[in-house]
Structure formats: C-alpha cells, structure tokens
Chain A
Amino acid sequence: MTDLLQQLINGLALGAIYALLALGYTMVYGVLRFINFAHGDVFMLGAFAGYYLAGPVSKVIPAESYLGGIVVLALAMGICALLGVIIELIAYRPLRSRPRLTVLITAIGVSLFIEYTCQHEKVFGASPRKFPDLIPNTTWDIGGVVVGSAQVIVLVTTVLLLIGLTLIVQRTKIGTAMRAVSFNPQAAALMGVNVNHIISFTFGLGSALAAAGGILFAMNYSSIDPLMGVQTGLKAFVAAVLGGIGNLPGAALGGLLLGVIETFAGGMKGISNYRDAIAFGILILILMFRPSGLLGKQQTEKV
C-alpha cells in the first residue's frame, strides 16, 4: 500500500511537469494548429536559465530559501517568455500563410538549432550538470511514504500556475481574445482582435509555463543537459493529445495521467525497460479509438 502511494506521489510530481509543458503545446496548437517542436527546448532553456540565475540571486537573497527559489523561477519564466516570443517572431511568423507542413518542419529545424547550439562547448556543453538546490532540501516520512520538499513544491507550484492560467484565459480581456483566435482567427480579426499580438502572447505564456516546468524538473531530478527537453517534450505532447489537443483542462489531466502511468510502469518488473515506449503506445491507442482525446470535442470534417 505504501509502495502504491509512493509511486502515486512520484507519478503526480512527474505528471505535473508534463502538464505544464502540455499546456504550452495545446495553447499553440489552439491558435496556430501546428506542433511546436521547439517547445521542449524552451523547457530546457528554462532549466538552464535557473542554473545560471541561482548564483547571482543567492548574493541578494540567501541561497536555499523559498523566496530565492520563487525569484529564480519568476526570472527564468520571464526570460523564456521573451525567448518564446522571439522564436515565434523570427521563425514562425514569416510562414503564417504557408502550408502547415512547412511550419512543422521549420519547428523541427528550430528545435535542432537550439539543441546543437546549446551542446556547443562555448554555450552550455553537452555533458550533464548538477542543478543547484534552490529551496531547503528536506524530506518527510509520512507512514513509510517519503515525500521530498521538491515534490511538494512541484505540485504546489503547478496548481498555482494552473489557477493563474485559468484566470488569465477565462477572466481577462486578452484571454477572451485568445479563445476567440483559437475558435476562428478570421472572425476574431474582423472583431478587432490583433491576431499577431495574441499569438505572441500565447507563445510567451506557453514558454513561461515551459520554463517553470524546466526548473521544477531540474529541482526534482537535479541533473540538466541540453537534450533534456527532447523526450520530455515529446511525451508532454502525447499528454496534450491524450487530454484532447486545444483543450486546457485536458492537457493538465493528460499530463498527470501520463506521469502516473509511466511511473507505475517503471516500477513493474518486465515492462520497466519499455517505459519510454509506453507514452507512444498510449498515443497510438488514443488516436485510434478516440482521436479527439479524453476531453476534446469530436469535430466533423467539412468539405
């Protein structure tokens, strides 16, 4: 029983990170209808931003304090939001009217460019690095279930960010505009919505969440490298499809589910080696039997 609970908590902590990333995929898919392959790399850049910010911030605010952790997180989110906007502006905006396949391949190109540039020895280098402790590192033992402070922070931060995102999307003017653009860009433009601004905003918002995911991932696994976003990014995309792409609660649910399933599979003898294949197996099953995802609406195709 304690084993199951332990796995569940580990799974939720992993799933929360998938959820943060999946939200970015789903939002971008909502407004632009393409898979932003570079999203996983923004996640990686977020973790590295945290790595480099931890030192300077600790000079002002004592290291390993909750306040310091929050400041690093907020700064990294800001930096990555800016990066996301820049990537969209340079690489995707000139291709706005092109076929989606062209944009998709460009996105893979951008992703490769970020990965290989960061692996260069003059940038980050290819070898993994140890991520500094941003918050006091304590563990609690609750009836045999071990919970680390990093895991608690991951879950709490994710919940807070999700509430914040829901408020932005549902309650603010710009959130309403976002929903309008994802519903019908032409009609939204006719209603006076500046579609390009909204797309930039969406990229910024998604990238900020990815950066938060990157730092939380690094806090939990304490090792970062320039390719950390590749597998995680693909799996987070699977989570977005699992929940129904374009659907925000769906992305969160898909992320949590995928994290829990993967952790349980990793703990089982016999299939633990196939852990990395499980996400894709789920993806294929979902697309075969429920292509619109768990919470997505079925869309009929018009000719």
Chain B
Amino acid sequence: MKSGAKRWLTIVIVLIAIVSAFSGHFNRYYLGIGIDIGINIILAVSLNLIMGHTGQFSLGHAGFMAVGSYTAASFTIACAKHAPESAAPFLLLGGLIIGGLMAAICGLAVGVPTLRLRGDYLAIVTLGFGEIIRVIFQNMEAVGAASGLTGIPNYTNFFWAWAAAAITIYVVTSLVNSTYGRGFIAVHDDEVAASAMGINPTRYKVTAFVVGAFFAGIAGGLYAHHKTVLAPTGFDFMKSFEIVVMVILGGMGRTVGVIIAAILLTVLPEMLRPVAEYRMIIYSLLIIIIMMARPQGLFTLKRSKGANA
C-alpha cells in the first residue's frame, strides 16, 4: 500500500515537471483549467480524508477554503509592496502555509465541539459553520466585505497547483496507510468497536478534520492567487457540495477514484458550455441518478467488506 502512495506521487510529479516545462507555449484557457483541476484535486482528496476514510460527513469544506484564501491573499497583498518581484514564489509559499495553518486552527475550533455529533446532525452543523464563516467575511471591511477582495497578485501557476496536489495526495495516502492511520478506517467502519479496541474516536476525527482543513486552506490560497479576486459568495454551501459530490462520485475512501472525479467534474462544466443554460439542471439530475444507480461511486469496481457507509 505504501509503495502505491509513492508511485502515485512520482507519476504526478513527473507529469508536473513535463507540463510546466512547456507551460509557456500553452493556451491560457487550458492552462487555467489545468490549475483549477489541481486545486479541485486538493479539495477533493482532503475532504476524502474526512468523509471517505474517517466517515464524517462535512458540508463546510468551502468555509475552510475561504479562511485559507482570505488569509493567504491578505498576507501576500501586505508583503508584495515591500518585496522585490523575484520574491513572489516565497511570498506564495508563505501565504499558502499561513492560510493552511489558519484553516487548520479553524478546523480544530469547529471540530472539537461538533465531532461528537453524527450523520446528518454533523452535516448540518458543518454547513452552519461554513455559512457563519461566509457571513463573517461578508462583513469584514478589511477584506473588502461584500464587494470582495481585489488586487491579489497572480502567483499561482501550473507547477504550484500540481505540486501542492501531489503533496496532498502523498500526505493523505501515507497518513491513511500508516499504522496510526488504521485508526481512521476503524472509526469509519465501527466507532463503538474502535473505541472498545482502545482507539479514541474523537481524537481521530479531529485529526482528520484538522488535516483536511489545512489542505483546504492551501487550496484556498492557490485559488486566491489564481483568480486574483475573492468574493464571499464564492464560498457558499454550493461550493462545499461540489466537493462532496467529487468525493461521492469517486467512491468514498478511494483516492484514485476521487482524483478522477475531481478532474471530470472540473472539465465537465467546461464541456457543457454549449448548453450552458441546462448545465446545472443536468448536473443535479446526474447526482440523483448516480445516487440511485451507483451510490458506491462511479469508479469503484469492487467493494471491500464492511465499507458500505
């Protein structure tokens, strides 16, 4: 299993290296979609740790993304004035890490009180937290309030997005496949049995939540420096749900499936542009049909025993 994680990392890194060497010649539109894919992979894989591996249904992932993106953007905007042009990669890296840490702190603050709840109660509480975070940003004058934050330097490129995606995949798969990580799966499969075996379910849930929130924050930082404009409405319940759909479509707990789903769901809306007015209707119908026909995910061939939550 461990070699599987490393293999994936190598494949992705080689891909990045090849693509970013030629990125100067690429069409900007396709390059933009490529960056979007990288960001969505980070979001989907990090939510997969919370939902798929640990079995905690969270509808607030966009909230952590919002925290990360606003923090990272504020950091680079404040520093870019005093730093030379060549410092851009360091500023971005600093912004991403600060944004990720801030999101992780929020994840801890949200996770500790709420992770005692289960199933749809947890879903509605995480949704509530996401909404609260959005309303706070909507009223914060320092980050542009309802009109949004503008003038963010355009630092994110293909290399950064995919390198971060590769690190996310590596950390999440290594974590889940480590001895410690068996605890996540145990909590997912049967919480009561896990705690009878001496595993503290709350601790594992909070760990998954904090790690997931950290990477969501990184994705948010990349997003901010890719779009260069942030609006609080972009981080509402719909955005969280989009990420949830990626995880479910890919098959909960299936890293490879989730990555494919993230790619597919980023490319699909672009392909549906000719029928733009029906795009979201088709999207929502697809969700209903998939939940009826293949609730285990599109890319799952066989289910392991007992993993039917």
Contacts and interface: CB of A to CB of B under 8 A. Distances in A.
A284 interface: yes
Interface in B266-285: 277-278, 280-281, 283-285
B114 interface: yes
Interface residues of B, number: 38
A105 B248 contact: yes
A108 interface: yes
B284 A102 contact: no
B284 A106 contact: no
B113 interface: yes
A101 interface: yes
B141 to A, nearest CB: 11
Contact of A109 (B123, B135, B278, B291): B291
A112 B283 contact: yes
B125 A113 contact: no
B114 A287 contact: yes
Given A91-B288, A105-B248, A112-B283, A288 B113 contact: yes
A179 B237 CA distance: 33
A97 to B, nearest CB: 11
Interface in A121-136: 121
Interface string A276-303: 1101110110011001000000000001
Contacts of B295: 98-99, 102
A274 interface: yes
Given A35-B120, A113-B281, A113-B284, A106 B135 contact: no
A252 interface: no
B117 A106 contact: no
Interface string A219-236: 000000000000000100
B113 A284 contact: yes
Given A99-B309, A101-B57, A273-B139, A291 B121 contact: yes
Contacts of B283: 112, 116
A157 interface: no
B48 to A, nearest CB: 14
Contacts of A281: 128, 132
A248 to B, nearest CB: 19
A105 B131 contact: no
B15 interface: no
A106 B192 CA distance: 28
A95 B292 contact: yes
Contact of B284 (A112, A241, A276): A112
Nearest to B309: A99
A57 B283 CA distance: 37
Nearest to A271: B139
B119 interface: yes
B112 to A, nearest CB: 10
A110 interface: yes
State the 8 A-B residue pairs at the shortest beta-carbon distance, nearest first.
Answer: A280-B128, A109-B287, A112-B284, A113-B284, A277-B135, A116-B280, A109-B288, A106-B291
Interface of B: 57, 113-114, 117, 119-121, 123-125, 127-129, 131-132, 135-136, 138-139, 192, 241, 244-245, 248, 277-278, 280-281, 283-285, 287-288, 291-292, 295, 308-309
Interface of A: 34-35, 91, 94-95, 98-102, 104-106, 108-110, 112-113, 115-117, 120-121, 234, 237-238, 241, 273-274, 276-277, 279-281, 283-284, 287-288, 291, 303
15 contacts: A35-B124, A95-B291, A99-B308, A106-B292, A113-B284, A113-B285, A116-B280, A117-B281, A121-B277, A238-B128, A241-B124, A273-B139, A274-B139, A283-B128, A291-B117
